[in-house]
Every structure is written in C-alpha cells, then in structure tokens.
Chains A and B, each alone.
Chain A
Amino acid sequence: MSLSVDAGSRTRTVPPGPRRHARPPGGRRFWSWLDLRATPYLFVSPYFILFAIFGIFPLIFTAWVSLHDWQLAGDKTFIGLENYTELLADDKFWNSVLNTVGIFLIATVPQLVLALLLANALNKKLRGRLVLRLSVLAPLITSVVAVAVVFTQLYGRDYGIVNWVLGWFGVDPIHWQNQKWSSWIAIATMVDWRWTGYNAIIYLAAMQTIPKDLYEAAAIDGASPRRQFWGITVPLLKPTIIFTVIVSTIGGFTLFAEPVMFGAGLMTGGTTGQFQTVAMFIVKEGFRDFQYGYAAAAAWILFLLIMITALINFAIVRGIGRSR
C-alpha cells in the first residue's frame, strides 16, 4: 500500500530538473535507492540464485562428501584426504583418465579441423547453400541416446553393418567393444557425427563477420585461397576457435552417454574398462558400489583436470597463426 502512494505522489508533485538532487525524506530515499541501485541486481539475481542452488551448493557439498567414507544408505565417517590418496594410486581411475583423454583427442582434433574446413566450404557461393547449412546442423537435434543406439548397432559384432562392409574386403568381424583402439574409434565417430556440424555453424557465423575487402585486398596482392584461409580466416577466427576448443574440452572430459550406450548400458565400459570414461568411473563408484565419498573425490579431480586441460588448450590455440 505505502509503496504505491509514495510513488504516485512523487510522479505527480516532483518536477524534473532543479529538485533532482534534493534529498527525498526517509522512506522515499530507500525506495529510490532500491529503484536505482538494487533493481539491476534483482533482475539478474534469478540466474545467480539458481546457480547457487544447482551449481555452488553441489560443488561444495561434493567436496564435503569427498572427505568422508560415505556409503549410500550406510555409514558416513570423516577420513580427511584418504579418498584422494587412494584415488591417485588407483589403476582403474588412471585407466579411465587415459580413455577419456584418448577419446577426446581422437574425437576433437579431427572434429574441429573438419568443422573449420566445412565452414569454409559453406562460406563459398554454392547452389542450395541454405539447405546445406541446415543439413550440417541436423545431427545436433537428434538425441544423444538415439545416436549412440544406432551407432552401437552399426558397430555390432554379429549383426552390424560396419563389419558386414569390412567383410567385403576380407576383414574378420571386429568386436568393437573388445579393444581400446576399436572402441575409442567407434565412440569418437559418434561424438563427431553429432558435434561437427554444430562447430561448423559457429565457425561459419564468425567467418561471415570477416570483412570481404580483406580477401579482395589479399587477392589483388596475389594470395592463393589457401594462403587467404591461413592468413586471414584462421587468425580472425581465433576467439571463436578458443571458444569451441574450451567447450569441446568440457564436453570431451565429461563424455558419458555415448560410451555407456556403447557398452550395453553398463558403467564398466567394457569387460576390462576399455572405454570407461572418468564420468562412468564416478557413476560406477557412486551408484553401483555405493562409495559416494570416493566418487565425489573422483568428481573433484575431474573438475581440476578439465580446468588444467582447458588452460593448456587455451595457451596452444592462442599461439595459432602467430608465427604466420
């Protein structure tokens, strides 16, 4: 009630200009302060409140859990950093890190290079350009699980189409889940199929902001299309490349759905953990062996690994084009 009366009287009685700096009496001062200073924070607060509940709180709670021998629906004892020391000596954990990094490398490097070339091609004057541009984005709107299910069938040992085609060339059926290299390739193709188009569209959008006169000037100076690509396109795309590399790093290090579906839905990632990623390791420890504390410690180490890798990638990508 009081709010509307105050506001109403102010709009009626306070003329603009000369009295602007006059101090309004007590209550009014508060409302005007709220209006000018606090409102912007109130407007942005929903995000930060949600982030605090669903981002900060789980982060801190996970850290707290990781300091315990925390059994799901069982005992919870404080053990300090014991989970971390045990984890750093756990072969299975390092195996999952190796798998994650391996799949990340063989998925992301070709994916981004391919996306860049694809974007460059789509940036040219082509017939049916819109259709082509939309079609590279199509895989993104399919569900991850659907992609993984279809690819897992394609890579089936007994009834899969990949082995059938390889059979024409006299290759024996490959049990794709059985070896590290074969399972990594299978999973990397799933990741690439889904994300290459997405990155290509981002590159394409960035390419269209590069002024045409730069290319014209380069062409007059006799620069070949290849030289133009490396000398103009790539350096000017650098902020975009950094963005895609960091997003891909986060995605690659938290890879989960594809390897899970590929391994019959189990968290073991193959009989000897051939393609168990860190995310799967965490779920296995937490939700299959019910060692929440151990899983929480692994989650924190994964978080640190992502930070470190993202920084390394940032440093590497920042150097691109500098020598040219």
Chain B
Amino acid sequence: MMNNTRRGVLAAVAAGTLAFTAAACGGDEAPAAAPSAGGSAAPAEKIELTLNTFGGGENFAYDDAVAQWNAAHPNIQVKYVNLTDRFEDTYLPQVLQWLEAGSGAGDIIGMDEGAMGLMAARPQYFADLGQYGLDSRKADFPAYKWDTGVNTEGKLFALGTDIGGMAMCYRTDLFEKAGLPTNRDEVSKLWPTWNDYLEVGKKFKAKVPDAGFVDGANTVYESVLAQEAGKNGGQIYFDKSQQLIVDKNPGVKAAFDYVQSLSTAGLTAKLRSWSEEWNTAMQKGGFATMGCPSWMLGVISGTSGEGNAKKWDVAAVPGGSGNWGGSWLMVPAQSKHPKEAAEVLNFLTGKEGQVAAFKEGGNFPSSIPAQQDPAVAEAKNAYFNDAPSGPIFAASVAQLSPVFFGEKHAQVKAAVGEVLVGADQGSVKWDEAWTRFVEEGVKAAG
C-alpha cells in the first residue's frame, strides 16, 4: 500500500512536469512553428468541438457548412447546437453564466450584434483570434463588421457571420386581394419613402380590413431606427462614451413617432414579434408586410412552412438601405481547443462557410468575397417566388453605415421595445408612451 502510494505520487509528479514542460514549449514556440508543427500535431487525437448558436427557423443555417467541415476533418468534429430562438432573455444570460462559471459555453459561440458591446467590454472571456492568425482576414469584411469584433483591449475576438441588410417582405395573396400590384419591382416603386408606405397601408386596410398591413410595432421600428441611426452618426441608445442618449437621439424619436403614426392609423396587426400569435398570423396571412432583414427570410420560411411557399415575396425597403441584426462568432477563452476552434471559426466565417449558410437559410454573407460569389450574387430564393435575394440585400448593404452598440444595448432595446408593443396593443396610452419609453430606457441602462 505504502509502496503504491509513493509510486503514484512519483508518477503524478513526473506527468505534471512533463505536461508543464510540454505546455511551456508549446507556448514559446507556437507562433513561429504554428503552420507546420501545430497543423499536423493537432489532429493526432479525435476531438469534438461544440458550436452554440441561437435563432428561430433556420437560425445560423450551419447544417451544411458543419457537415462539409466534419467530412473534411475526421479528427476535429463539430457539434452544432442551436440552443433557443430567443436571444436577449434566454441565450445571452445563459452564455454569460457559462462564461462566468468557466465552463459550458462550448468552443465557438454565436452572438447577436445587440450584445457585441457587452462582449467587447469583457475581453477576459474570449480567445484572442489574432493569436491564431485571423488578423489576416481584415480585408474580407466591411469596416463596421470588423470593428465591432475588436474588443476594448484592441484585440480581435469575433468575426462576422451574416449581415442584416433590409428589405420588405410582403404577402402576394393579400396584395392581390387589396388590388395592389404583386410584382416585386412594382411593389418597390409603391414606397420610396416611409410616408408612401403609410399611404399604401391605408389603401390596403380599406380593401382588406381583416388583415394587418404590418405585423406589429417591432419590425418597422427596427427598420426605421436602423436608417435613422445611420443619419445620426451611427448611434442608437448610447454614444461612444457609453452615455445613454435614448431621449436625445433624434433618430430614436423619429422611429418612435413613425411607429405611432402607423399604429394610430390602425395598420398594425398588434402582434408581438416572436410570439405564438405572430407565428400563427405569419402562417394564416394575418398581416401583409414585415420589415425583413436577410435573416428574416429563414425565419419566415421556417415558420410559415411549405404550405405558404410562393405566397411571400421580397421588395425593397422604404428609404433605401438599412440593417437589422447580423451576428458574429467567437471562441470563449474556456475552450480546451482554442486553436482548432479558431480554425473552424475561420472556415465558417470564410467564403465557403458563409456561402453555405446563405444557400441553406438565406443569411446574407458579411464576407465581401462571399457576397461576390455567384452563388450569392445571382441567387434566387425559391420560397419567395424566386426573388433575387442576392442583389436585393447586396444593394441595401452597399450603403450601410456602421452602428455603435453600448454595453447595455440589449437591455435598453428590450425595455423600450416593450413600451412600443404595449402602446401598439393598447395597454399603454400613446400620450404617455414616449415618457414611459424614456423612463424604461433609463431604468434598463441602470
């Protein structure tokens, strides 16, 4: 017994020393010898990496891309897990808990733009992607997509996946019923501005009183806000010194006022985005139009189902350009295989990965080479009457202005969004809505 114990201790010490030496060597030599030694040594043992994402419908649309990677890399298998369709109140808190706990977050995580400010202010939780040579990707991305992935210590911690862009999705069957044109080019000409859009809505409602012209307060608000934010120096709820400007930003007020005018004209279906009723209305034709960033195409096709194929189409958004959403991928510092995870991240955010995600879910690539790929540039979306989704979103993204996200952007967005939904649905009076909107924003920024 005694003998055994002593031998065990010796063995443990020996193993520890070896491991330490190995780690020390690795640490010293890795940067110089990375391409040859690291590349061939890594897959010696089979490892599994977990990729955690969020989103409804097709979400990140990585089924094909991950299958491609797994087929080509038998020793680095990726497990793709879409955790939930809710970002702000489910996915983000879960990820933060994992980061704080030091385990559970997986090897690669997806992150919505709304929380990028929060993540950039927590550099300790993420691997420095520059260390794995991903700095070289800078030329592949629009400046704002790249800049948002650089944290407060100036290190690259995230690379862009899809980009929102903005279009207007509409139901051709309801437009026909209202005597409006159904061809997407003619529909785009109906609403060069948001005021025209309001007028079309009134015409629609006069003919089809049963259906809403637009789903609810959320999507139009986000669409208008994205355009107005671009006009106001790329700021939304916070200025660049993290001061709350919800009451001072004219862009926020303009978007609020526009939603009020739509709602008081009775044009909304008074639905809350992402609710069961919203999903049902999407299937049953409860509303005719919806502000549609590129990723929303996947949400619509996933939610409405095959029965509604060809009933939806995509036109240009009033006011020209815009952006809502878009995501990034990052490697948590807690990952046991950060180097391999960075390789997978590089693949998924690269041309092949983004083109595959576009084909699968219509998620518009933020990578410029991927945008130029014929598969994207000449793409048509069969579900949406063969709409040329590639050119439509490319046009809206071409004039995209960068937007700054404060550390508490997600909380403020959720809090003020509730007020808009409440005012639209009638539980908050429009007279008191703006005061409440600002109050809730101030409370959420805490």
Contact = CB atoms under 8 A, between A and B. Distances in A.
Contact of A264 (B88, B275, B280, B427): B275
Contacts of B93: 72, 286-288, 290
6 contacts: A72-B97, A73-B99, A270-B427, A287-B97, A288-B89, A290-B93
Contacts of A156: 276-277, 280
A302 interface: no
Interface string A59-92: 0000000000000111000000000000000000
Contact of A271 (B100, B269, B427, B444): B427
A254 interface: no
B419 interface: yes
Interface residues on B, range: 20 to 34
Given A175-B270, A177-B425, 18 more contacts: A72-B93, A72-B97, A73-B99, A158-B281, A159-B284, A178-B425, A265-B86, A267-B89, A271-B422, A271-B427, A271-B428, A274-B427, A284-B89, A287-B89, A288-B89, A288-B93, A290-B411, A291-B446
A149 B286 CA distance: 20
A74 B286 CA distance: 43
Given A73-B125, A178-B427, A266 B419 contact: no
Interface of A: 72-74, 149, 152-153, 156-159, 175, 177-179, 264-268, 270-272, 274, 284, 286-291
B426 interface: yes
A264 B274 CA distance: 8
B15 interface: no
B248 interface: no
A290 B92 CA distance: 10
A71 to B, nearest CB: 9
Identify the interface centre among B93, B97, B425, B426: most chain A CB within 10 Å of its CB: B93
Contacts of B284: 159
A71 B219 CA distance: 30
B427 A289 contact: no
B418 interface: yes
A267 B421 CA distance: 15
A272 B100 CA distance: 31
B67 interface: no
A274 B425 CA distance: 13
Nearest to B86: A265
Nearest to B420: A271
Nearest to A288: B89
B333 to A, nearest CB: 12
Contacts of A286: 93
Interface string B427-444: 110000000000000001
B272 interface: yes
Nearest to A285: B446
Interface in B365-408: none
Contacts of A270: 422, 427
B137 interface: no
B423 to A, nearest CB: 8
Nearest to A156: B277
A98 to B, nearest CB: 16
7 nearest A-B residue pairs (beta carbon): A271-B422, A287-B93, A264-B275, A73-B100, A73-B96, A178-B427, A271-B427
A153 B280 CA distance: 10
A284 B272 CA distance: 18
B122 interface: yes
B139 interface: no
A107 to B, nearest CB: 22
B414 interface: yes
Contacts of B88: 288
Nearest to B99: A73
Nearest to B272: A264
B441 to A, nearest CB: 13
Contact of B277 (A157, A274, A290): A157
Interface in B226-270: 269-270
Nearest to A179: B427
Contact of B419 (A159, A271, A274, A288): A271
B95 to A, nearest CB: 9
A289 B441 CA distance: 12
A149 B446 CA distance: 33
A5 B286 CA distance: 82
Contacts of A267: 89
A175 B97 contact: no
A129 B100 CA distance: 56
B269 to A, nearest CB: 8
Nearest to A290: B96
A153 B281 contact: no
Nearest to A158: B277
Nearest to B98: A73
A288 B272 contact: no
A271 B100 CA distance: 31
A268 B122 contact: no
B189 to A, nearest CB: 32
A264 B446 CA distance: 25
A175 B89 contact: no
Contacts of A74: 122
A271 B421 contact: yes
A288 B414 contact: yes
A290 B270 CA distance: 29
A129 B121 CA distance: 65
Nearest to B419: A271
A152 B173 CA distance: 29
Nearest to B411: A289
A266 B418 CA distance: 10
Given A159-B284, A289-B411, A178 B277 contact: no
A286 B411 CA distance: 12
Given A73-B125, A288-B89, A288-B411, A175 B426 contact: yes
Identify the interface centre among B88, B99, B125, B272: most chain A CB within 10 Å of its CB: B272
